[in-house]
Structures are given as structure tokens and as C-alpha cells.
Structure 1
Amino acid sequence: MILKKWDDLPEDMKNEKVKKYYEVLYKKRFNLFTKRIFDIVVAIFTFFVLSPAFIIISIAIKLDSKGPIMFRQIRVTQYGKEFRIFKFRTMVNNADKIGTQVTTKNDNRITKTGTILRKFRLDEFPQLFNIISGDMSFVGTRPEVSKYVERYTDVMIATLLLPAGVTSEASIQYKNEELLLSNSDNIDETYLKEVLPEKMKYNLTSIEEFSFWGEVMTMIRTVIAVIKRDNKNTFEKVTVNKSEVNM
């Protein structure tokens, strides 16, 4: 992973607030190189290990609803570059054309298979291809669509110094983001004015405290968070069922 020279950055990134974070990363260039090697090796290894799961999930998606297996959408990554993100399709075909870009709890566009994939974050598996190509990393700011990036403040732009990530500390802290947005009358505005600024605080802190081993720990905490959320949901279902029995 190569950090461009300051003078070579896109003009809209060269502001004083971004420079503060650039200087932090510039001092940790070796860690950035290690991070890239780690991403490539682990992504390739993981793909081969999970290849049978890819086949099973692909079949389940095709049997569940009409449409392609993969969901591909233009997102923004390092230095403002646009790329096509890969995810297993979890919604009805062309869902992005019949609703908001943000998903909410109980979104009726989500398919039955999609509900399971989202629960365990299995829909993110195809992003291994994005990692191998260099457009993404295992850990980094989640990639946004262009219309949200266009609303970034000067300091938020600093997150574009690094490739977008599959997970991050912000992702862990806002793992129930869909629930937070479910009661909003204007989901896009609520996301931009309330959710995104808070997530960005975590993303910017992650840059300030960047270290290779810190990112490995973020990956581990992500797995733990997914497991805990599943156990919590299971507990809540059991509690509800017991209440129904006792009524």
C-alpha cells in the first residue's frame, strides 16, 4: 500500500485538516506496506477456504429470488477513486432504484436468504476480490456512494487517504445502524446529519491510532461482535416465545 506524496494528492484533499492525518500515516509507511501484504495473503487464502461456501450461497440466492447472484455498486475508496464493490445480493433485484441507498431494519426489499446473509455478514465475502485488487482492505472506513462522499466535510475527507474497508471500529460500534434509521422520516438526511458524523469520529481516531496489530484486533472484535449479536437475537426470540406461552 503506497501513500502518495502530499503534492500528488487530489486537490480537494489538500487542506490543513487532512494534512494532520496524512502526517500520522506518513510516519507509519512500513505498517501500511505490511497491511497490504497481509490483505493480499489472507484474502487469497480465505477465498480458497471459503470457495465451497461461495457455491452454496450462490445457489441459495438464485433459488430464493430472481436476479443476479452479486450486487455491484459504485462506491468511493482511496483518494476519491470510484470502484465497483462486490457483495452477495441480499435484496430484490434493482432494490437501489426503488428505495434509499441506506438499509433499515425490517426493510421489505431484503430477501429471505438475504436476511441470513446479513445476520452473519456473509454478504461481505465477495469483497475479498476488492481486497485482492487493492480497492479495499480488511479494515478501513466503509465505502460510501458518491452522493454521500460529496457531503464530506474537510476533515472527513482524511478517511480517503486509505482504501475503504470491510470492517472498522465504526462498523462494530454501529452494528445496529439499520435499527437507528428505521424510525426516520428522511433516512438519507438522518444518516448524513446524525449517523455519519458519529461514525467518522471513530474512523478518524482509527487513523490517528493506526497500527498493523491494531487492525488485526479490529478484525477479531468484528467476529466477536457478530457472534454476540447473533446470541442476543436468539435470546430475545426465546424470551418472546416464553412470554407468548405464559400469556
Structure 2
Amino acid sequence: MKRLNVMAISEMEYMAPSLTPSQAMIKRTFDFSAALLGLLVSWWLILIAFLAASLDTRSNGFFIQNRVGKDGNIIRVVKIKTMRPDSRTTTTVTRSGDPRITPLGRFFRKTKIDELPQLWNVLLGHMSFVGPRPDVPGYADKLTGVERAVLSLRPGITGPATLKYRDEEEILAAQDDPEQYNREVIYPDKVQINLQYIREWSFLGDLRYILVTVSG
């Protein structure tokens, strides 16, 4: 009997984690309600930031990019633009001191104002307030086995992995090959953190992640 229990625990450890239907409903109901309220409160700030970013970057003040969403579907994530094109830089990995980031863009990033348009993505059901960050194609869509459970969630504006790596740009700036370090060290760690988040999900836990993010 003891051996069977050990086997059962072992199987559970390797089963792909997922939210129950009731948990998913609670999470989505909160996301929709809070995103609607957030947009009603912050629309004027988003508008001002959009106009300022348009002047600052001499282009559309919204940065719209394809990212990998729930179930591997491609979503178009909207943020305030904080960077100008730089022909010398082709990587999608951003590090501290990146020459593409404008002075105003640094302010938007530091204050998280650049993230506010993602409330629209949350309202539409493309994203959640808490979950794995939406990646560009080439990362989450390449996951296999149990790790693909990360795709069972809508990507989030914040989350445990995002908070752990809040200084990711500084970490990458210290590496000789930031893209390789991100691919081989940071991203695999994020995947494990997000799998643990799914296994231990709770509504109060999501509220805690949001409060920690807002409080800085």
C-alpha cells in the first residue's frame, strides 16, 4: 500500500497542472470587472501617454506586437511605445541601458504606465491580470510535455515569475550573451515558477501579486 501511495504522488507531480472550471471562472470574472474599472479610471492617462509617446518616438504611440497567448494562439498585445528603432540592435531581448529606450520611455517603464493599455487585452479575454508574461513566438510555443501547461492560462500583466525577475533588464545587461542567458537560464526558471503558480493557484494569491506589483 505504501508503495502505491508513493507511485500516486509521483504521478501527480508529473501531471500537467491546470485550473478547475470554477477557478477559471472566478479568475476571468475578476479580470473582466477589474479591467473595465481600470479603463474607466485610467483612460485619460493612457491617452496622454499615447500622445507623449507619439511625439517622443515620432511614430504611433502604441506598441502592438504579436505574442503567444492561451493554448498557443497568437494575440496582439498593446503597450505604450517606449523605444525607437535602432539598426544596430536586432534582438527582442531588452536589457538595461538599451539604446532603443527613450528617456520618456524609461519613465513609462519605471512607473509601469506603458503597461496600462494591456487592460484592453484583459477586457477582451486575451490576457489576465496575473499569469505568465506573454512571450514573442519562439519560447512558450516551443514548450513540450508537462511544461505546455503554461499555455493553459491566459498570459498575465504580472505574476510570480515577473516579480522575481523585475530586475531582468539589469541581470541581462551583466551577461556577455543576454539572449543565450535568457534562453538557457531565465526562461526555464520562469516556466517552473509558472507551473508552480498553476498548481497552487488561489484568488487571494492573485490579489497579493497585484498588490505587490502596484506597491512596487
Alpha-carbon distance in structure 2 between the residues aligned to 1:213 and 1:55: 32
- TM alignment of 1:50-199, pairs within 5 A: 50-93=42-85, 98-199=89-190
Classify the secondary structure of the residue corresponding to 1:146: coil
Correspondence 1:209 to 2:200 = yes
Pick the aligned partner of 1:49 from 24, 37, 41.
41
Quick one: structure 1 residues 97 and 39, their matched pair in 2 at CA, closer, same or farther if it must change by over 3 Å? farther
Name stretches of at least 5 consecutive residues in structure 1 with no aligned partner.
1-15, 227-247
Per-residue deviation, 1:151: 3.8
Alpha-carbon distance in structure 1 between the residues aligned to 2:76 and 2:153: 17
CA contact (8 A) 2:127 2:156 kept: yes
Per-residue deviation, 1:18: 7.5
CA contact (8 A) 1:17 1:154 kept: no
Alpha-carbon distance in structure 2 between the residues aligned to 1:161 and 1:58: 32
Per-residue deviation, 1:98: 3.9
Measured against aligned partners, the alpha-carbon deviations of 1:33-57 in whole angstroms (never above 9, x if no partner) come to: 0111111111011101101111221
Alpha-carbon distance in structure 1 between the residues aligned to 2:28 and 2:88: 35
Alpha-carbon distance in structure 1 between the residues aligned to 2:128 and 2:137: 19
Per-residue deviation, 1:111: 0.9
Letter in 1 for 2:22: F
Letter in 1 for 2:46: F
Alpha-carbon distance in structure 1 between the residues aligned to 2:24 and 2:150: 14
Per-residue deviation, 1:124: 0.7
Classify the secondary structure of the residue corresponding to 1:72: strand
TM-score (norm 2): 0.88
Alpha-carbon distance in structure 2 between the residues aligned to 1:45 and 1:123: 18
Alpha-carbon distance in structure 2 between the residues aligned to 1:180 and 1:114: 19
Per-residue deviation, 1:147: 1.3
Aligned-residue CA RMSD (Å): 1.9
Measured against aligned partners, the alpha-carbon deviations of 1:121-145 in whole angstroms (never above 9, x if no partner) come to: 1111111111111110000000111
1:229 matched to which residue of 2? none
Classify the secondary structure of the residue corresponding to 1:223: helix
Deviates more, 1:40-49 or 1:195-204: 195-204
CA contact (8 A) 2:70 2:151 kept: yes
Alpha-carbon distance in structure 2 between the residues aligned to 1:187 and 1:156: 23
Alpha-carbon distance in structure 2 between the residues aligned to 1:190 and 1:53: 36
Name stretches of at least 5 consecutive residues in structure 2 with no aligned partner.
1-11
TM-score (norm 1): 0.78
Alpha-carbon distance in structure 2 between the residues aligned to 1:196 and 1:61: 29
Quick one: structure 1 residues 208 and 96, their matched pair in 2 at CA, closer, same or farther if it must change by over 3 Å? farther
Alpha-carbon distance in structure 2 between the residues aligned to 1:96 and 1:212: 44
